[in-house]
């Protein structure tokens, strides 16, 4: 019995990728985003499962992620979407990663590094259509940069792309404006560079708007079976890949009024049994969940009662209980008919499902089922 474990179903990742590939149809590539340790699922096993499910490219945010992924997948098409410092650019180039670019100064620098290292990196020029983060928002400058990259013998113009700020806010008016601006410039880029891969959509955009699919889509959250709209993954046919589990380390009888945990934030309202579960905020099960969520034991819900500490939490099992030390505890996932999703946890914390799985700490071992993890 492990104190806390994240169980990852690689078959679910494969299924979700196959579903996304089917949704975008032939002729549109699926790039699976595996940054931040595969949103907490484990970058390399997630990447391999995504490729089995039909992803033809993999995206990471950082150069060191690209290098780690390259070591495990020598033949994969890898795209680093994040900003690169000069030192990081070398790491990305040596990893054979495709890179993002939006400034002429970086083109000149990268060209020189490519010549020195004897590589010819594939470059994706980024147009900031309204995310207000990476990319250049001046269409003429972006077009000029595309021309400069294409004319540079040390670089290859591989992609033209953008990123949406509000794709997950159904019905908003900003997403269509970003899409319209991008579509207009993409036509001009394609006119002079017909070979470029045009891409814009994240998971939410894939479900929301087929006109955003272009030549490739970049899906992260949906690959892991989490709902990009934060509600219910099943509505889109997605299967959550991650379950967070622990076990009952001890059961003890509390007299009415006795308290559990730091600060005595909970007191037994009656004589009751309390279960001790050895998982806490040191594992990413946030302290803000204290007295606000349930856990599943034996297919039933029990409230987390008392302040969650770094390594433990306590659960009110009621005045009579069949729960015994050693019983499995599910914190995220399904047990019998009961489900507690990453979306449920996110809602309680006022955040998004992304942050819940990314926040499961390195102390929690990842265990893989449904495919080869290596
Ligand atoms: C993380 C990321 C994605 C994936 O977004 P999801 O909402 O997880 O699908 C796509 N594109 C870029 C540039 C990203 O940084």
> Which atom of ligand 1 has the smallest separation from the CA of 202?
9
pLDDT tens-digit readout, 221-252: 999 999 999 999 999 999 999 999 999 999 99
What is the CATH topology of the domain spanning 10-225? TIM Barrel (3.20.20)
Ligand 1 atom with minimal separation from the 35 CA: 1
| Catalytic-labelled residue, pool 35, 127, 273, 302 | 35
Average pLDDT over residues 92-108: 98
What are the residue ranges spanned by the domains of the chain?
10-225, 242-369
Give yes or no for a contact between 59 and 44, defined as CB atoms under 8 angstroms apart.
no
Instruction: Kindly give the distance from the C-alpha atom of residue 137 to the centroid of ligand 1, in angstroms, as a whole number.
Output: 19
Q: What is the per-residue pLDDT for 372?
A: 65
Same fold, 10-225 and 242-369: no
| CB of 33 sitting under 6 A from ligand 1 | yes
Q: Ligand 1 mean position to 318 CA, how many Å?
A: 43
- What does the alpha-carbon distance between residue 164 and residue 178 come to, in Å, rounded to a whole number? 7
Ligand 1 pocket, 163 CB below 6 A? yes
Superfamily of domain 242-369: Lyase, Ornithine Decarboxylase; Chain A, domain 1 (2.40.37.10)
Is 3 exposed, middle or buried (CB count within 10 Å of its CB: 0-12, 13-18, 19+)? middle
* Rounded distance from Cα 202 to ligand 1 centre (Å): 5
Residues 107 and 94: their CA atoms lie apart, in Å, by 17
Ligand 1, closest atom to CA 221?
Answer: 8
Nearest alpha-carbon partner for 103 in 140, 158, 142? 142
Residues contacting 347, CB < 8 A, separation 6+: 230
pLDDT at 2 over 60: yes
Under 8 Å CB-to-CB from 331, ≥6 apart: which residues?
A: 244, 245, 246, 279, 285, 295, 296, 340
Q: Tell me what the mean pLDDT of segment 12-32 comes to.
A: 98
3-class secondary-structure state, position 275: strand
Q: Is the CB of 178 under 6 A from ligand 1?
A: no
**This prediction's pTM:** 0.97
């Amino acid at each position: 019995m492990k104190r806390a474990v994240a169980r990852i179903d690689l078959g679910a990742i494969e299924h979700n990728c196959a579903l996304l590939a089917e949704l975008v149809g032939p002729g549109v590539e699926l790039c699976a985003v595996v940054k931040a340790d595969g949103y907490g699922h484990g970058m390399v096993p997630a990447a391999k499962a995504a490729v089995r499910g039909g992803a033809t490219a993999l995206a990471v945010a950082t150069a060191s992620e690209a290098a780690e992924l390259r070591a495990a997948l020598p033949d994969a098409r890898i795209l680093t979407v994040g900003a690169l410092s000069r030192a990081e650019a070398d790491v990305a180039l040596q990893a054979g990663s495709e890179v993002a670019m939006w400034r002429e100064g970086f083109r000149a620098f990268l060209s020189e590094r490519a010549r020195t290292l004897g590589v010819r990196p594939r470059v994706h020029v980024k147009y900031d259509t309204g995310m207000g983060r990476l990319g250049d928002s001046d269409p003429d400058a972006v077009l000029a940069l595309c021309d400069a990259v294409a004319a540079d013998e040390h670089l290859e113009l591989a992609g033209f792309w953008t990123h949406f700020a509000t794709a997950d806010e159904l019905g908003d008016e900003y997403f269509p404006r970003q899409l319209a601006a991008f579509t207009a410039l993409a036509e001009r880029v394609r006119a002079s560079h017909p070979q470029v891969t045009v891409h814009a959509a994240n998971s939410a955009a894939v479900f929301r708007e087929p006109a955003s699919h272009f030549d490739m889509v970049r899906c992260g959250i949906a690959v892991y079976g989490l709902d990009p709209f934060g509600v219910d993954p099943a509505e889109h046919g997605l299967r959550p890949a991650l379950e967070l589990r622990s076990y009952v380390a001890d059961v003890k009888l509390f007299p009415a009024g006795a308290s559990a945990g730091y600060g005595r934030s909970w007191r037994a309202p009656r004589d009751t049994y309390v279960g001790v579960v050895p998982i806490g905020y040191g594992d990413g099960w946030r302290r803000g969940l204290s007295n606000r969520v349930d856990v599943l034991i034996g297919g039933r819900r029990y409230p987390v009662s008392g302040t969650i500490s770094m390594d433990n939490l306590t659960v009110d099992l009621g005045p009579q209980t069949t729960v015994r030390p050693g019983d499995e505890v599910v914190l995220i996932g399904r047990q019998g008919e009961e489900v507690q999703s990453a979306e449920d946890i996110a809602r309680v914390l006022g955040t998004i499902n992304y942050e819940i799985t990314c926040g499961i700490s390195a102390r929690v071992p990842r265990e893989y089922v449904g495919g080869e993890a290596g």
